[in-house]
Amino acid sequence: MASLVPCPHCGARPKEEFTVKGAAQVRPAPDTDKKSWVDYVYLRENPRGRYEEFWHHTSGCRRWLVVIRDTATHEIESSCDAAFAGQTDART
Amino acid sequence: MTSYRLATGGLIDRQTPLSFSFDGKRMLGFEGDSLASALLANGQLLVGRSFKYHRPRGILTAGTAEPNALMTIGQGGRTEPNTRATMQELYQGLEARSQSRWPSLEFDVGALNSLFSPFLGAGFYYKTFMWPAAFWEKIYEPFIRKAAGLGKASYEADPDSYDKCWAHCDLLVIGSGPAGLAAALSAGRSGARVVLVDEHSAAGGSLLSETATIGGASASQFVAETVAELASLSNVQILTRTTAFGWYDGNVFGAVERVQKHVLDPLPAVPVERLWRVVSKRAILASGAEERPLVFGGNDIPGVMMATAMRTYLNRYGVAPGKHVAIFTTNDSGYALARDLESAGVNLVAVIDGRPDAGFRYSGRARVIKGAYVSDAHGRKALSSISVWKNGSVETLKADALAMSGGFSPIIHLACHRGAKPVWSDEQAGFLAPTGLNGFELAGAVNTNSGIAACLADGAARGAACVEALGFTASVATFATVEGDIVAPPAKPIWKIPGIKGKAFVDYQNDVHRKDLALAVREGYGHVELAKRYTTNGMATDQGKLSNVNAIGLLAEARGVSPAEIGTTTFRPFYTPVSFGALAGGHFGHHFQPVRESPLHDWAKKQSAVFIDTGLWYRSSWFPRNSETNWRESVDREVLNVRANAGLCDVSTLGKIEVCGNDAAEFLNRVYSNGFLKLPIGKARYGLMLREDGFIYDDGTTSRLEEHRFFMTTTTAYAAGVMTHLEFCAQALWPDLDVRLASVTDQWAQMSVAGPKSRRILQPIVDDDISNAAFPFLAAKEVSLFGGQLQGRLFRISFSGELAYELAVPAGYGESVADAIMEAGNPHGIQPYGVEALSVLRVEKGHVTHSEINGTVIPADLGFEKMVSQTKPDFIGKAMLNREGLTAEDRPRLVGVVPLDPKASFRTGSHILAKDAAATLENDQGYVTSIAYSPHVGSTIGLALVRHGPERHGEEVVVWNGLCGEFTAARLCNPVFVDPQNEKLHV
């Protein structure tokens, strides 16, 4: 029905504006072994609790975000622009 | 005897009579009445039949929880079934009809069900599945279908409009009884943005039914003054007729406002309902408490009513429930009604108090029978007497109305919508909301306060605390002394009443009685969630607002445990039913989804195009001419004309993405499987985009307009997906690359001018030299048009296999440029062609689309192995492309297929069998992905993905359609049916 996702660029926006892609994994280097690639492409954790995901602000600023949320409570811990996901001070 | 209007009293406007009808009978009520109060004032006790047994039912409550008085309101497209008469405001001309009865409310054939009731107990529906099977279709199913169901929806279109909107506030207060009003006042005075919602027509809640006074003023006067102050504050918004129906993540609340459900003719410019999404930093639930019915025999006979409801009808609407009224209570609240009935001059027969030690100091005249229970109520369509059980002996009292109060359940629904479980409290004799709701507080009766003064104080304190937590400076609102306040401390609930003879109902709406619950326990369905489904208790439109706690109490007693051990079923939105209209808002009819029209839409219309939906787009499919009656005639003509002369096709719907930045070439090099670093300026290249798993995602041409500026095209279907994918690559995978992306699909009108005469047609329009030497195949550049009047982009690319150009001009110029090309091409025989002809042309040329790129296909399957760079260090899909299965020898690969008999045909999706092989799954060698009738070849042609296909050109096979039982003798061949040497492209 309704809930809000914090966008570091646009503020809290309704979730209908976003598209979720799934686990925010790090893409392996091209020469990484096959198993890592299979894991990256096909295997996902399915945790009850904290989960890092890629969300796209499709109907907003069109930036890709890393959103950390709790899959059980839907509580969103933080979000940041995916381009800065590695930087500790990028989270809102 | 029956209910009637008192000569004085109530908050109704006796100067404004309103005429309405019930089942065609004309009646009169007053402004301020609810439909229920008006019916009672007219002596209409019988208002409906029950769902299963078709028992006569009367009005039970005065509010949201009403299970019996469900009616169909209105006419035609405005017909609204299952309207609760207790929530429906009366208006002049209202037409109400009773439901669940046939042929009439007074004489209902379905009431015979009562005779079969031994067979209709809990779980009967499931038992019909078991035995005997032959009975199901002929007897059970039609019987249940006819008997079940509430009101009927109209088949006519709803003439009214609905709206959706957002509200943002610091504090949302749900409920405007004493606690809600006080909370809003404390918070509102601090300057915080407050939204106060109440589902009734006026603010005030229980205060509107009170005879207590506050500082000497009547409770309703107190409400009026408080509401006036709140209304004067610009930071406070009061929404009445608004039900907060759900609490969602991030403290977003859903609410529905019935803007014009209380008028006969809604204003057309104003929606009848509004769906609100309220984003609030803090919220207070001041929803009050629901009085619980008592489960005794005949507790559903018209005339039996909740005590607080009876008090509301008496005090707010000036309606007496009968001439001889009895009260059956388990707590002190019943005495408030006793006092009010007596001061209104209604004969009070007796107060039956279940507590032997009841200590309330009652000063009225009526007889008080302590330690006694009403075991049965008697009467058919109206109450006539009651049996009072005390210590095993039964006394019969004459009464035409009976009020009951089995204690109060806090209305905690919203507090539990996000998954928290209610907690049973023995002390409070009810389920309470869990604590720690993070931003959502409870105030008033829902927070276990009883009495006006306590609710005012609790609301005021919590309202102030909420906004102080947000940084506002608030003081707790204070109020004058309340006189006549009756505080009813929680009393021990009485689940099981002794001496019952008749049917004792727990869930009125679904006709679940006390024995059904006992049966559920005996048959092993005693778990609360199982009992709910087995008995259907709480599954009606009222969602068990009155019945759930009683059912839990009875289950607990039957199992010999505490209600705490039984627990509740899950509370979910919506709190009350919400209309589809409100949820749909403006998104209906042709507003259901947006329509995308190409910039050349009007040009195509002028050319008499037949349009086809392609996602949100309307694409021109073909252009009928003169005597053509069959689409194939038009398409064949268009195809032949492109091959012989020239055609113009609207290709504006293809996705267009501008890729800029110092690393644009490197970026493209990583998202395409083929190389783009060395693409020269002024050149286009066909690109293949893979998914990370190695399969082809999309294809298209990308042109280098400048060193650091590229113009990419995608397929129509994947335009949005490719854009999102590229953004992901640029932002999440390689943020270090300097690349910027802009979707420009709608900025350009793009037309394909194809055919051997296309250059002759275009050259007079394009100022630049477009000869083969100056502008060869795959040339791409910005050009000047019409003697410098317009700039456009010209691409020498071809989907048809003919000499062809794609010209892009700014969208607004599309139609006039297309007109100009048609005019210039007229002497050369130019004709428009649509996507059907385009598809034939591309199948003839062996070009693939998403029919072939179907998610199971890698580049080599389509003969594109050379488009997979072996030198690039990385691109999307590279790592997974070398997997075992993707390098297998016998993968189905692209091949052409033609029937041996040119008159024969086959369908897309048919499978390929070796010539003499049996039609089995094991012999399946591949399948047809696309077909077309090729006027060039003179027969049906197809593209197929077949094992070892490219090595089998010339082999005879059978095309097998197992669904239709069709077998077509055919030959595999080169998938390029036209100009296999690509000579036409380079002329």
Structural domains in chain B (count): 6
Q: Report if residue B596 sits inside a domain.
A: no
- From chain A, the residues in CB contact with B419 under 8 A are 73
Q: Report if residue B729 sits inside a domain.
A: yes
How far does B879 lie from chain A, in Å, by closest CA?
Answer: 6
Q: pLDDT for B291-345, tens place per residue? A: 999 999 999 999 999 999 999 999 999 999 999 999 999 999 999 999 999 999 9
Same domain, B800 and B818: yes
Q: Which residues contact B222 (CB under 8 A, 6 or more apart)?
A: B207, B214, B215, B479
- pLDDT at site B940: 98
Same domain, B694 and B782: yes
Of B405, B428, B461, the last residue of a domain is B405
Q: Which residues contact B305 (CB under 8 A, 6 or more apart)?
A: B58, B59, B60, B61, B313, B321, B401, B402, B403, B404
| Cross-chain CB nearest to A30 (options B252, B724, B878) | B878
Mean pLDDT, residues B428-446:
94
CB contact under 8 A, B252 and A2: yes
- pLDDT at site B801: 96
| Cross-chain CB nearest to B692 (options A1, A41, A85) | A41
* 3-state class (DSSP) for residue B620: strand
- pLDDT at site B574: 95
**% of chain B exceeding 70 in pLDDT:** 96
Same domain, B692 and B780: yes
Crossing angle of the two packed helices B548-559 and B528-535, in degrees rounded to 10 = 110
* pLDDT of A1 strictly over 60: no
pLDDT category, B698, cuts 50, 70, 90? Answer: very high
Mean pLDDT, residues A68-72:
93
Q: pLDDT for B439-452, tens place per residue? A: 999 999 999 999 99
- From chain A, the residues in CB contact with B879 under 8 A are 28, 30, 32, 34, 37
Q: Report if residue B815 sits inside a domain.
A: yes
Residues of B (412-451) whose Cβ lies below 8 Å from A: 418-419
Higher per-residue confidence, B512 vs B104: B512
Substitution target from B731, B736, B740 for chain A, most A beta carbons within 10 A? B731
CB contact under 8 A, A4 and B250: yes
| Residue B767 at interface with chain A, using a CB cutoff of 8 Å | no
Residue of A nearest to B574 (CA): A1
- pLDDT at site B132: 63
User: Does the ipTM exceed 0.95?
Assistant: yes
Rounded Cα–Cα distance for residues B150 and B100 (Å): 6
Question: Residue B531 gets which letter from DSSP?
Answer: H
**% of chain B exceeding 90 in pLDDT:** 89
CB contact under 8 A, A1 and B878: no
pLDDT category, B734, cuts 50, 70, 90? Answer: very high
| Cross-chain CB nearest to A56 (options B419, B693, B724) | B724
CB contact under 8 A, A56 and B249: no
| Residue B886 at interface with chain A, using a CB cutoff of 8 Å | no
Same domain, B895 and B766: no
Q: What is the DSSP string of chain A?
A: ---EEEETTTEEEEGGG-EEEEE-PPPPPTTS-HHHHHHHHH-----SSEEEEEEE-TTTT--EEEEEEETTT--EEEEEEGGGTTSGGG--
Same domain, B384 and B422: no
Higher per-residue confidence, B115 vs B755: B755
Rounded Cα–Cα distance for residues B2 and B169 (Å): 48
- CATH code for the domain in which residue B284 is found: 3.50.50.60
CA distances (Å), origin B100, targets B73, B110, B111: 14, 9, 10
Q: Please state the φ and ψ torsions of residue B82, each to the nearest 5 degrees.
A: 60, 30
Residue of B nearest to A21 (CA): B728
- pLDDT at site B129: 61
CB contact under 8 A, A30 and B249: no
| Residue B880 at interface with chain A, using a CB cutoff of 8 Å | yes
pTM, whole model, 2 decimals?
A: 0.89
Residue of A nearest to B246 (CA): A1
Rounded Cα–Cα distance for residues B951 and B954 (Å): 9
| Cross-chain CB nearest to A37 (options B254, B873, B880) | B880
| Cross-chain CB nearest to A41 (options B252, B732, B880) | B880
Rounded Cα–Cα distance for residues B396 and B710 (Å): 93
| Residue A43 at interface with chain B, using a CB cutoff of 8 Å | no
Mean pLDDT, residues B126-142:
64
| Cross-chain CB nearest to A30 (options B248, B277, B879) | B879
How far does B732 lie from chain A, in Å, by closest CA?
Answer: 5
Q: Which residues constitute the domain of residue B528?
A: 504-565
pLDDT category, B841, cuts 50, 70, 90? Answer: very high
CB contact under 8 A, B878 and A32: no
| Residue A1 at interface with chain B, using a CB cutoff of 8 Å | yes
CB contact under 8 A, B732 and A54: yes
Q: Which residues contact B138 (CB under 8 A, 6 or more apart)?
A: none
How far does B799 lie from chain A, in Å, by closest CA?
Answer: 31
CB contact under 8 A, A54 and B724: no
- CATH code for the domain in which residue B35 is found: 3.10.20.440
| Cross-chain CB nearest to A74 (options B249, B733, B879) | B249
| Cross-chain CB nearest to A30 (options B418, B873, B883) | B873
Q: What is the DSSP string of B774-837?
A: TS-TTBEEEEEETTTTEEEEEE---SSSSSEEEEEEEGGGHHHHHHHHHHHHGGGTEEE--HHH
- pLDDT at site B65: 97
- From chain B, the residues in CB contact with A2 under 8 A are 248-249, 252, 254, 277
Residues of A (23-42) whose Cβ lies below 8 Å from B: 27-28, 30, 32, 34, 37-38, 40-42
pLDDT category, B592, cuts 50, 70, 90? Answer: confident
Q: Please state the φ and ψ torsions of residue B519, each to the nearest 5 degrees.
A: -65, -45
Place of tokens 């969103």: A76
Q: Report if residue B874 sits inside a domain.
A: no
Cis peptide before B103 (omega within 30 of 0): yes
CB contact under 8 A, B728 and A28: no
- From chain B, the residues in CB contact with A14 under 8 A are 252, 277
- CATH code for the domain in which residue A58 is found: 3.30.2270.10
Residue of B nearest to A29 (CA): B874
CB contact under 8 A, B732 and A83: yes
- pLDDT at site B179: 98
* pLDDT of B795 strictly over 70: yes
Taking the CA atoms of residue B356, residue B358, residue B364 and residue B369 in that order, the dihedral angle to the nearest 10 degrees is -10
| Residue A91 at interface with chain B, using a CB cutoff of 8 Å | no
Rounded Cα–Cα distance for residues B443 and B414 (Å): 13
- pLDDT at site B62: 97
Same domain, B695 and B789: yes
How far does B691 lie from chain A, in Å, by closest CA?
Answer: 10
Same domain, B284 and B382: no
* pLDDT of B111 strictly over 80: no
- CATH code for the domain in which residue B756 is found: 3.30.1360.120
- From chain B, the residues in CB contact with A32 under 8 A are 879
Helix count (H) and strand count (E) of chain B? 21, 53
- pLDDT at site B112: 65
- pLDDT at site B104: 74
Mean pLDDT, residues A12-39:
94
- pLDDT at site B135: 65
Question: Residue B109 gets which letter from DSSP?
Answer: G
* pLDDT of B141 strictly over 80: no
Residue of B nearest to A18 (CA): B724
CB contact under 8 A, B724 and A32: no
**H helices present in B444-575, as ranges:** 452-469, 514-522, 528-535, 548-559, 563-566
Rounded Cα–Cα distance for residues B888 and B890 (Å): 6
| Residue A82 at interface with chain B, using a CB cutoff of 8 Å | yes
Q: Which residues constitute the domain of residue A8?
A: 4-90
How far does A91 lie from chain B, in Å, by closest CA?
Answer: 15
Side-chain-side CA neighbours of B547 within 13 Å: the count stands at 31
Q: How many CB pairs under 8 A join A and B?
A: 74
- pLDDT at site B128: 61
* 3-state class (DSSP) for residue B307: helix
CB contact under 8 A, B735 and A84: yes
**In angstroms, how far is CA B194 from the centroid of its own chain?**
28
| Mean pLDDT computed over every residue of chain B | 94
- pLDDT at site B139: 64
Same domain, B722 and B798: yes
Residue of A nearest to B245 (CA): A1
For chain B, the straight-line distance linking the first and the last C-alpha, in angstroms and rounded, comes to 101
Q: Report if residue B233 sits inside a domain.
A: yes
pLDDT category, B537, cuts 50, 70, 90? Answer: very high
Of B518, B534, B565, the last residue of a domain is B565
For residue B798, count CB atoms less than 10 angstroms from its CB and return exposed for 0-12, middle for 13-18, buried for 19 or more: buried
- pLDDT at site B205: 97
CB contact under 8 A, A82 and B252: no
* pLDDT of B521 strictly over 90: yes
* pLDDT of B68 strictly over 60: yes
| Residue B693 at interface with chain A, using a CB cutoff of 8 Å | yes
Rounded Cα–Cα distance for residues B687 and B726 (Å): 14
- From chain A, the residues in CB contact with B874 under 8 A are 30
Mean pLDDT, residues B264-285:
96
Rounded Cα–Cα distance for residues B70 and B35 (Å): 11
For residue B905, count CB atoms less than 10 angstroms from its CB and return exposed for 0-12, middle for 13-18, buried for 19 or more: middle
Same domain, B771 and B654: yes
Q: pLDDT for B201-215, tens place per residue? A: 999 999 999 999 999
| Residue B248 at interface with chain A, using a CB cutoff of 8 Å | yes
- CATH code for the domain in which residue B960 is found: 2.40.30.110
Same domain, B143 and B189: no
Rounded Cα–Cα distance for residues B724 and B84 (Å): 48
Q: pLDDT for B487-499, tens place per residue? A: 999 989 999 999 9
Mean pLDDT, residues B602-629:
95
| Cross-chain CB nearest to A62 (options B254, B727, B883) | B727
pLDDT category, B749, cuts 50, 70, 90? Answer: very high
Structural domains in chain A (count): 1
Which H/E stretch holds residue B940? strand B939-947
